Structure 1
Amino acid sequence: MNTKVIGIVLIIIGAALALWGYNIYDSAGSQIGRAISGDTPVEAWIGMVGGAICIAIGLLRVK
């Protein structure tokens, strides 16, 4: 029972991180930076990849 609660919390945190990373990726400043230099902000990658990892671990815990 306890691992299922941890899994659900990880899924929620992972979804929030992924959304946060996507918001940074899609922001106006980031779009201008990508147009000029082609680089994506590190915070966006950390949020999206970290969120995906948290969701995957959470799904394994709930299972």
Structure 2
Amino acid sequence: MNKIIGLAILVAGAILLYFGYTEYNSNASKVTELVTGNPTDNAIWFLVGGAVAVIVGLGVILKK
């Protein structure tokens, strides 16, 4: 049962990373980065949340 939950968290993390990557490369993010020097907050939150979810998912899957 834990393996299934871990896999679901891993997949959710991968989806968040995908959304973060596309948000980071969007035109709105490019304009914001040009003006402020930083990408949009949504891009950062998606990337950080996705990375954390992938790490947690892998931890649950690999836990004995």
TM-score scaled by length of structure 2 = 0.90
Instruction: Please name the residue that 2:6 is paired with.
Output: 7
Q: How far apart are the structure 1 equivalents of 2:42 and 2:32?
A: 13
- What is the SS of the residue equivalent to 1:20? helix
Moved more, 15-24 or 28-37: 28-37
Moved more, 28-37 or 17-26: 28-37
Q: How far apart are the structure 2 equivalents of 1:33 and 1:55?
A: 27
Q: How far apart are the structure 1 equivalents of 2:31 and 2:19?
A: 18
Greater than 6 Å deviation, 4+ residue runs? none
Instruction: Please name the residue that 2:49 is paired with.
Output: 50
- What is the SS of the residue equivalent to 1:8? helix
Letter in 1 for 2:58: L
How many pairs are equivalent?
A: 62
- String of CA shifts for 1:6-49, please: whole Å, max 9, x gaps: 00000100000011011111001211221122121111111000
Q: How far apart are the structure 2 equivalents of 1:57 and 1:37?
A: 32
Runs of 5+ consecutive residues of structure 2 not aligned to the other structure:
none
TM-score scaled by length of structure 1 = 0.91
Residue 4 of structure 1 deviates from its aligned partner by 0.2
What percentage of residue pairs aligned between the two structures are identical? Answer: 31
